[in-house]
Amino acid sequence: MAHFQNPILPGCYPDPAICRVGEDYFLVTSSFAYFPGIPIFQSRDLVHWTQIGHCLDRKSQLNLDGLSIKDGIWAPAISHSGGHFYVAATHMKKGGGGNFIVTSTDAAGPWSEPVWVDQPGIDPSLFFDDEAKCYYLTTACMPGRSRNDIVMAEINPATGQRLTDLAPLWSGIGELAPEGPHLYKIGGRYYLMIAEGGTYGGHMENIARSESLWGPYEGCPRNPILTHRHNHHLPIQFAGHGDLFELPDGTWWMVHLGVRCSSYQKQHLGRETFLVPVSWDKEGWPLVNEGKGITELEHESPQLAPHPWGQLPCRDEFDEASLDLRWNYLGNPVPNRYSLSERPGWLRLRGSAVTLASMESPTFIGRRQQDFVVNASICIEFQPLTENEEAGLAVYMSPDAHYTLSIMRRGERREVILKLHLDHLQTEIARQEVPSGALTLAVESSKETYTFLFAQNQGPLVRLGEAPVRYLCAEVADTFTGVYLGLFATGNGSSAESHADFDWFEYKPVTP
């Protein structure tokens, strides 16, 4: 019997939602203030996944100006009806934002401009009934209510117009923050599954059902059907925010978010996507992993033919015309600060006055850290002309929590410098003079520590210093995201005259 290892999408891929079209499965996750937005993945066997694009890859679809790292795109949900894919999501921003739908006939895109939906709340999802009528579900607080309900209205998905009044369906079991609704019709009954308890240690998944689409909905007597809130020793924590789906053989599964903690109830890789089997009891209620919780990271694989997509290379040589789909920007990128063509085979970055301590589109590209133990390194050529110019390697959680290993100028000296950026404090750990020419900058991570190294002219790596993981944990940094490893350039308050060239970036997990 074949087995797979959870998480199926390691690193910061939270709030998963899934749909099946024929023998293909498509999955989307939250992306917050990173651009492009809403990564979309495809699988044939639920174990091997390949990213096929982003649903939001134009600023006209996703304007991230002025947002914090916790804003942006929350909790997308994907559906398929009448030959079209639909993704509903919340664009969260202070004093505005809203809920929208984008559509495409091809999951790989291109996707439409957003259609804004006249419905309050967050975490939208779509339900299409047997007559292809479209219903929009969100989490919202109705007038006269002291807590949120899951609410629904029939809408026109082409215009976003509500066709019925907003109706409350269920408010959950009384726990914190009912959210992430998904509605299913199974065996002639309607099932409404939601998350509660908040997305940290109290997270859970609850379910209710009704004979009628509009309710009333009766909660499962065994709620929560998934939670690890009283089992802090289990390898997966914060389990919840799931989506149910059926395979062609009639078996059921759930994707859900969870975390692998690096220390007690603290995590820095982000909320990840997990896969777990679901059965049904004789009363017609779902049992997640036979009601046992998720006690192991390894499970028996679904009964689907294996379909690997091929291993992505550890090293990005920057020799393509565009960046790999694994890379993200912070906010909307300023195009003239990035070039793959000016020096073929190299990525050229031009720093601006914006630093990594701001979300106003710093010159940065990053990819998710997906493993506790990993070695990441870059080859950089950078000759700063002034003392404000800086470029190098970043271990980034948020504007208020990141580490940098960079090249700067002090007088006539070119130096490699390790700095910790925490809240509004900046601490210099170490610096060392280096001659002109290419440098290798590297970081080696464990569950407890990031160790920073450098090398000259392809020589041996020399340790410069280290920094603790704990300051970049989401519970300390107060973020919903995970650590990104990336490249940056900045003028630290002024425009940079010197560009930085990167020959390659390498990400190598270390197998125990």
Check residues 457 and 88 and name the one with the higher pLDDT.
88
pLDDT, one tens digit per residue, over 343-364 is: 999 999 999 999 999 999 999 9
Dihedral of alpha carbons 14, 395, 42, 276, sign: negative
15 is catalytic: yes
Q: What's the token pair of residue 295?
A: 């006690």
Q: For residue 36, say if its preceding peptide bond is cis, omega within 30 degrees of 0.
A: yes
**Phi, psi dihedrals of residue 470, rounded to the nearest 5°:** -60, -30
Q: What's the token pair of residue 381?
A: 């050529």
pLDDT, one tens digit per residue, over 61-106 is: 999 999 999 999 999 999 999 999 999 999 999 777 899 999 999 9
Residues of the chain with CATH 2.60.120.200: 315-509
* Per-residue confidence (pLDDT) for residue 142, from 0 to 100: 84
Distance CA 320, CA 313 (A): 13
Residues of the chain with CATH 2.115.10.20: 3-300
- Residue range 479-490: average pLDDT? 97
* Per-residue confidence (pLDDT) for residue 96, from 0 to 100: 72
pLDDT, one tens digit per residue, over 371-391 is: 999 999 999 999 999 999 999
The active-site residue out of 45, 123, 179, 381 is 179
Assign 318 to helix, strand or coil.
coil
Distance CA 436, CA 421 (A): 26
Q: 283: Cβ–Cβ under 8 A, 6 or more apart, which residues? A: none
Distance CA 236, CA 229 (A): 10
Confidence of residue 112 (pLDDT cuts 50, 70, 90): very high
Distance CA 339, CA 350 (A): 9
* Per-residue confidence (pLDDT) for residue 265, from 0 to 100: 87
| Long-range contacts formed by 146-152: CB under 8 A, 24+ apart | 147/171, 147/178, 148/121, 148/177, 148/178, 148/179, 149/178, 150/178, 150/181, 150/192, 150/194, 151/119, 151/121, 152/127, 152/183, 152/214
* Per-residue confidence (pLDDT) for residue 16, from 0 to 100: 98
* Per-residue confidence (pLDDT) for residue 97, from 0 to 100: 83
Confidence of residue 143 (pLDDT cuts 50, 70, 90): confident
Distance CA 485, CA 397 (A): 9
pLDDT, one tens digit per residue, over 152-166 is: 999 999 999 999 999
Distance CA 257, CA 275 (A): 9
DSSP 383-412: --SSTT-EEEEEEEEETTEEEEEEEEEETT
Q: What's the token pair of residue 201?
A: 């240690």
Confidence of residue 128 (pLDDT cuts 50, 70, 90): very high
* Per-residue confidence (pLDDT) for residue 145, from 0 to 100: 81
pLDDT, one tens digit per residue, over 391-426 is: 999 999 999 999 999 999 999 999 999 999 999 889
* Per-residue confidence (pLDDT) for residue 459, from 0 to 100: 87
* Residues 276 and 51: beta-carbon distance below 8 Å: no
* Per-residue confidence (pLDDT) for residue 264, from 0 to 100: 86
* Per-residue confidence (pLDDT) for residue 311, from 0 to 100: 86
* Per-residue confidence (pLDDT) for residue 70, from 0 to 100: 94
57 is catalytic: no
Confidence of residue 511 (pLDDT cuts 50, 70, 90): confident
- Residue range 176-192: average pLDDT? 97
Angular region, 38: left φ>0, alpha ψ -120 to 50, beta rest: left
Q: What angle do CA 14, 18, 19 make, to 5 degrees?
A: 165
DSSP 487-509: EEEE-TTS--SSEEEEEEEEEEE
Judged against a pLDDT cut of 80, whether residue 509 lies above it is answered with yes
Q: What's the token pair of residue 208?
A: 């209710």
Confidence of residue 245 (pLDDT cuts 50, 70, 90): very high
CATH superfamily for 3-300 is Glycosyl hydrolase domain; family 43 (2.115.10.20)
- Residue range 121-139: average pLDDT? 96
DSSP 270: -
Distance CA 214, CA 83 (A): 26
Q: What percent of the chain has pLDDT over 70?
A: 100
Say how many C-beta atoms besides its own lie within 10 A of residue 262's C-beta. 18
* Per-residue confidence (pLDDT) for residue 94, from 0 to 100: 79
Judged against a pLDDT cut of 80, whether residue 10 lies above it is answered with yes
pLDDT, one tens digit per residue, over 261-315 is: 998 889 999 999 999 999 999 999 999 988 888 888 999 999 999 999 988 899 9
Range 315-509 has CATH code 2.60.120.200: yes
Any idea which residue has 């203030």 for tokens? 33
pTM greater than the 0.85 cutoff? yes
Q: What is the mean pLDDT of the chain?
A: 95
